[in-house]
Structure 1
Amino acid sequence: MTQRICCIGAGYVGGPTMAVIADRCPQIHVQVVDINQARIDAWNDADLSKLPVYEPGLDVVVGRSRGRNLSFSTDVSAAIAAADMVFISVNTPTKTKGLGAGQASDLRWVEACAREVAQAATGHTIVVEKSTLPVRTAAAIKTILEAAGDGEDQRTFSVLSNPEFLAEGTAIRDLEAPDRVLIGGDDPASIDTLAAIYAHWVPQRQILRTNLWSSELSKLTANAFLAQRISSINSIAAFCEVSGADVREVARAIGTDSRIGPKFLNAGPGFGGSCFQKDILNLVYLCRHFGLPEVADYWESVVALNTWQQHRIARLVVEKLFGTVTGKRLAILGFAFKADTNDTREAPAIRICRDLLEEGAQLAIHDPKVAVQQMARDLQQKAEPQEDALSGTGSWAEACTVEEAVTGADAVLVLTEWQEYRTLNWMSLAPRMRKPAWVFDARAITDHEQVRAAGLTLWCVGDGDV
């Protein structure tokens, strides 16, 4: 029976996942470790509103378990040595240089974790891949661990794949009531050990067992299929805009088909987050590596259309504002890649804002959860006012309120579907703007009648009537 779990990586997956396991399994001590001292300090902060990951409900779950059977530390080796089971939940970004640059996953941190486990583990240790990994990564981890177990200390290892299927913004709900838990491996006893942990709150019929390679590929495939739906509906949205159709009506019509279903049919500025693009590009790389260029081209087109959608929205803003945004103030509402998270990785707002900055726009960016320092890192430009608005150099600044953002603005761009943006009082906001003023609703969440009644011109994604 598992008594101590160590999770390497205190990010968006490791932190929430381990918090829920600790909450549901009070008899198991769960320790989350990370080499980032500031991140661990934030997890240990007495003020639960300062957790490094914003996720609805996470503060409550952490509050129940932290100090009881959930702890956070930077002492990685000690946590591994004490653990019966070690989860690897570190970042696997796309490589930026070398073999496979731009598509293959950078596995340096996964390998470093495997070597750390190989050095520090004691007795029999079950190593669980939680990070999203290329197919057959487990083989590399096994090789490293087996080399460490060849000595006289009788250490043994089992490697399992247990991919996460979380949606940011609903991660706690997804963890507490998952569609399925997937465990891949070739050691039935180890699979049963991990399954027994989830069985404390997940019905056995929803705990799926596969081999290692099927489990690793299932994660990539799930994200690829979901992203494909988003790119598909966005392609139809563009056609709706030029044909007079309404993409929401089209989505409702096709979504009632039981073979298709209604989920992931909301047109918008495209997908973001840490997984979709990275995982598809990984799949593209693997398909080319194994001699399947046509399959690779198909999945690569999903990413290409997503990028095109974001550039298209930025170009459309420029075209509607008399062909130039140089010196014009544009209010950006939403910077996170989706509502209910502070995650900005691959956020559509980044590419759209960069395009507008390149055109010389003056951006006022508001987001209820994203810190200004994160915006600066993503935009690769410091926040600072532009003294000469007509210089042609784009600039941006944080707006603490929506009212501050729209004051003096020529246009408002709604880029994240935060609840507070759905209920904006456009009658009070419109007088603050410079006329003629536009609202570009890239999420289709505004009150269209109120926007028009306030004297603003509206563009809404996928609506051919506006």
Structure 2
Amino acid sequence: MEVHKISCIGAGFVGGPTMAVFAYKCPDLQISCLDLDPEKISRWNSNELPIYESCLLEIVQNCRGRNLSFSNDVSNEIKNSNIIFICVNTPTKTYGEGAGCAFDLTYLESSVRSIASVLKDCTDKKIIVEKSTVAVRTAEIIEQILTHNAPGLDFSVLSNPEFLAEGTAVNDLLNPSRVLIGGKNEEAIETLANLYARWVPRTKILTTSLWSSELSKLCSNAMLAQRISSINSISAVCERVGADIDEVSTVIGTDERIGNKFLRTSVGFGGSCFTKDVLCLVYICESIGLTDVANYWRQVIIMNEFQRNRFTKCIITSMNNTLKNKHIAMFGFAYKKNTGDTRETAACYVASTLLEEGAIIHVYDPKVTRQMMLNEMNLHKFLDFISADKHLITETNPYEAVKNSSAILVLTEWDCFKDFDYTRMFQDMLKPAYIFDGRNLLNHSALREIGFRVIALGKSDFRDFRFC
């Protein structure tokens, strides 16, 4: 099957970068990224992109206006496309059956119905690519909607899940560890595989059934989340027995059967995928009668909440259970470094608890705006009990954030945090001056030499602070 044009419905964290890299690597193809949000499209057509990813702006600038476009004109772009990617949000349901666990497929179903409406009289072959993270057998839903609403359409549905890590998305697209394509139609599978093969070695392009592809994506994220919760659980053990989590994780990681990835303790995982995908796996297991399996995976989420809660409790107890009107500097609000994404960030949960205690929080994050912080706090209804203007303050200068503060919290592992002048910061803080390192990022020995009381995850020092 010949391909001249590719479209993608959804210009978010996945759709935008994916289409940009396709345009960059396939200059002979026309690539169109579509979204109904006019503001988002406007930003994709500017030099202030709606998301931050290293090297993304350069690639967009290189291709935009040549073979890459961003548009709201979904109907016309779909009509002329050979391959249509569906890259829309599939959030967790907040209502009805499966609330809190199952995926809400509203946006996906709406996209498929739009495709069917536009293509109902089309005589050309079309490949519909499911790139959104979905529950198993969602491809069947897509097939049913298209079959009933565009009965004459010659189409194939493929599953091609993304395996991007925010902060390294462009590199993950340019140098993927694997590309997974699931489907029934061999010609359609080969067509998409040939496009990826322009820059991805064939040995890294894996093909499976539709259902294996859909489940593999959920399981990949669940396994990664499990590793984070596992090492975080060990950090609590280290604190009680006098061991050092960094030493323990190094030893564990040298075992080639285990490897050293995702073995760094933290205040807990965040982002748009891990919690959502693990809970969807839990729901699937419950739905098919595998209660014990569901309980196993639910424990990954429980452990993540445990880590966040005990870190926050440590801050409160270490500061004499008295935070009212105390100023606290928070370094980092994004859920991880090299991204401005705040979805499910641990910082949101920590901040909400400290605000309930009456603290005044000064947040510095190099890539997160005040509005992004407030949006995330509002999403979880964490602003109902505070005046945001008075108690949650965003700073553009880290040295301003620490003035007259009682503590510094490190909640994102931005590399720039390691380069700050902490001697200068110490002089501007109230004493005793605390640093609660939720990422084990900083040089704790040097900070103690300056005079800070440093509390870090998985260290035996926590025994002195009744950390639990």
Asked if these proteins are the same fold (TM beyond 0.5), I'd say yes
Residue by residue over 1:341-381, the C-alpha shift from the partner in whole angstroms, topping out at 9 and shown as x without a partner, is 01011111111111111111110011101110011111223
Secondary structure (helix, strand or coil) at the match of 2:271 reads coil
Q: Distance in 2 between the 1:350 and 1:441 partners?
A: 16
* Aligned residue in 2 for 1:231: 229
Alignment of 1:85-124 (within 5 A): 85-121=83-119, 122=122, 123-124=124-125
Alignment of 1:265-304 (within 5 A): 265-304=263-302
Residue by residue over 1:312-342, the C-alpha shift from the partner in whole angstroms, topping out at 9 and shown as x without a partner, is 1111100000112111111010000000001
Q: How many residues get paired?
A: 452
Q: Distance in 2 between the 1:157 and 1:142 partners?
A: 9
* Aligned residue in 2 for 1:132: 133
Q: Which amino acid aligns with 1:356?
A: L
* Aligned residue in 2 for 1:312: 310
> Cα distance, 1:450 vs. partner?
2.1
> Cα distance, 1:449 vs. partner?
2.1
* Aligned residue in 2 for 1:149: 150
Q: Which amino acid aligns with 1:306?
A: N
Give the alignment partner of residue 424 of structure 1, picking from 410, 416, 420.
420
Q: Distance in 2 between the 1:410 and 1:197 partners?
A: 55
> Cα distance, 1:149 vs. partner?
3.3
* Aligned residue in 1 for 2:176: 178
> Cα distance, 1:411 vs. partner?
0.4
* Aligned residue in 1 for 2:466: none
> Cα distance, 1:252 vs. partner?
0.4
Q: Distance in 2 between the 1:177 and 1:263 partners?
A: 17
Q: 8 Å contact 1:331–1:406 — kept in the other structure? A: yes
Residue 413 (1) aligns with residue 393 (2):
no
Secondary structure (helix, strand or coil) at the match of 1:297 reads helix
* Aligned residue in 2 for 1:22: 23
Residue 81 (1) aligns with residue 82 (2):
no
* Aligned residue in 2 for 1:334: 332
* Aligned residue in 2 for 1:7: 8
Give the alignment partner of residue 453 of structure 2, picking from 421, 433, 457.
457
Query: Over aligned residue pairs, what C-alpha RMSD do you find?
Result: 1.0
Q: Which amino acid aligns with 1:12?
A: F
Q: 8 Å contact 2:15–2:87 — kept in the other structure? A: yes
C-alpha spacing 1:258/1:68, structure 2 compared with 1 (3 Å): same
Q: Which amino acid aligns with 2:394?
A: E
Unaligned segments of structure 1, at least 5 residues: 387-394
Q: Distance in 2 between the 1:243 and 1:353 partners?
A: 29
Residue 442 (1) aligns with residue 446 (2):
no
Alignment of 1:246-257 (within 5 A): 246-257=244-255
* Aligned residue in 2 for 1:389: none
Q: Which amino acid aligns with 2:127?
A: I
Q: Distance in 1 between the 2:30 and 2:459 partners?
A: 52
Q: Distance in 2 between the 1:111 and 1:433 partners?
A: 53
Tell me the TM-score normalized by structure 1.
0.96
* Aligned residue in 2 for 1:212: 210
Q: 8 Å contact 2:117–2:150 — kept in the other structure? A: no
Q: Distance in 2 between the 1:260 and 1:192 partners?
A: 34
Q: 8 Å contact 2:334–2:347 — kept in the other structure? A: yes
Q: Distance in 2 between the 1:449 and 1:307 partners?
A: 29
Q: Distance in 1 between the 2:335 and 2:285 partners?
A: 28
Q: 8 Å contact 1:376–1:383 — kept in the other structure? A: no
* Aligned residue in 2 for 1:391: none
Q: Which amino acid aligns with 2:10?
A: G
Q: Distance in 2 between the 1:453 and 1:252 partners?
A: 25
> Cα distance, 1:385 vs. partner?
4.8
> Cα distance, 1:465 vs. partner?
3.6
Secondary structure (helix, strand or coil) at the match of 1:317 reads helix
Q: Which amino acid aligns with 1:163?
A: P
Secondary structure (helix, strand or coil) at the match of 2:266 reads coil
Secondary structure (helix, strand or coil) at the match of 1:126 reads strand
Q: 8 Å contact 1:427–1:453 — kept in the other structure? A: no
Q: Distance in 2 between the 1:354 and 1:169 partners?
A: 25
User: Structure 1 segments of 4 or more deviating over 4 A?
Assistant: 382-385
Q: Distance in 1 between the 2:358 and 2:143 partners?
A: 52
Q: 8 Å contact 1:22–1:28 — kept in the other structure? A: yes
Secondary structure (helix, strand or coil) at the match of 2:435 reads strand
